Amino acid sequence: MKALLLALRATIALLLCAEQYVLAAWAGPDIEATIAPVLRRQHVDQVERYEGGRLACFTWHFDKGRPARAEDAGWTVRGGGVVYPYQRVRTIADSEDVGAGIILRPVKPGQWSRKCIDVPAALIDRPFEITGFVEYRTRLTGRLWPVRQSTPEVSVP
């Protein structure tokens, strides 16, 4: 009877540990991005259209607050009731002249990056929004999960 009770206690302890791990992996990235974001004080300005509306450019300003390596980034265009996912964004000019751009960016305030995106044909003469994210691996929790952080929304008139 004692062996059965011991096995039951061990099973319950393992299940509780597994539950805690799953909860940490599920909520951990969101909590980390809220409490200790990699990018701080983000904003966008100088939103302009070029080439007859086929190209939209903007300047993204931010402070990189802690060491982390960017692993992924994505941009989505939304306009006219349609979502155009995974648009390619080109870096035209950058405050940091590093070969890998946002991946190897150092920790410091006052950084900026001038980005341009090809406008989908249906939105050349219509207003739209650009949303994006950057996904980081940090030293502290990088082996457990990536931290996904949203970029500011860009409204293109």
**pLDDT, tens only, 98-145:** 655 666 788 889 999 999 999 998 999 899 999 999 999 988 787 888
**Tens of pLDDT, residues 58-98:** 999 999 989 888 888 889 999 989 998 877 888 888 887 76
pTM above 0.75, yes or no: yes
Domain 38-156 has CATH 1.10.3470: no
Task: Compute how many other C-beta atoms are within 10 angstroms of the C-beta atom of residue 21.
Answer: 12
**146 and 30 in contact (C-beta within 8 Å)?**
no
Beta strands 55-64; 108-118: pairing state: antiparallel
pLDDT of 49 > 70? The answer is yes
